Amino acid sequence: MNNNKKLYIIRHAKAETIPGITDFDRALTSEGIEEIKKLALKLAQQISLDDNSVVISSAAKRTLQTTQIVLDALKEPSFAIQEEPSIYECTYKHLLSVINKVPDSVDKIILIGHNPTLSDLIEYLTRKPAYLRTAELAELELDNGFTFEMLTGNTASLIRTIR
């Protein structure tokens, strides 16, 4: 049985563009809500959350909305979300430093954030070209024996992307 740790990276769903609303405060469009619901249902058929799971989300409105839809589909609507304001408009190296703080006991992380940072992180970790579209997920598996604290460049494999 494969016990390697998993990192599920999700780009937020499509968000509205309304004059006068800051980028940080943009909400999901109805199309975005439907897209992320479809993705979340696919994810729910494959994984469940437990005490060895962590959900990390940007604090931007559209990302928190995306995260809540995912948790609802996983039938874990009150699962604790680790809100990270610092991952909004950050570099992939900063995002990696957030992941590196996750304890060894954690087996899976669901990370919801923004491009280009997420795609840059996937490329750095896997050495494979990547571009996440809105409401798309990349499933990464850490190399054998690696923990999230040890995660660095070229130490994970891109298993698949799901849209």
pLDDT in tens, 12-43: 999 999 999 999 999 999 999 999 999 999 99
Higher pLDDT, 1 or 10: 10
pTM across the whole model: 0.96
pLDDT above 70 covers what percent of the chain? 99
User: Residue 15 is which amino acid?
Assistant: A
Average confidence (pLDDT) over 84-99: 97
Please say if the pLDDT value at position 1 is more than 80: no
What torsion, rounded to 10 degrees, do the Cα atoms 68, 11, 126, 105 define? -10
**H/E element holding 81?**
strand 81-84
pLDDT above 90 covers what percent of the chain? 98
Residue with tokens 């874990």: 76
For 6-162, the fitting CATH number among 3.30.420.250, 3.30.420.40, 3.30.70.141, 3.40.50.1240 is 3.40.50.1240
Residue 3 pLDDT class (50, 70, 90 cuts): confident
Average confidence (pLDDT) over 107-136: 97
Please say if the pLDDT value at position 2 is more than 70: no
pLDDT digits (tens, 9 = 90+) for 135-151: 999 999 999 999 999 99
The alpha-helical segments, DSSP class H, found in 60-162 are 61-73, 92-99, 117-126
- CB within 8 Å of 135: residues ≥ 6 apart: 10, 11, 12, 13, 14, 32, 35, 36, 38, 39, 66, 163
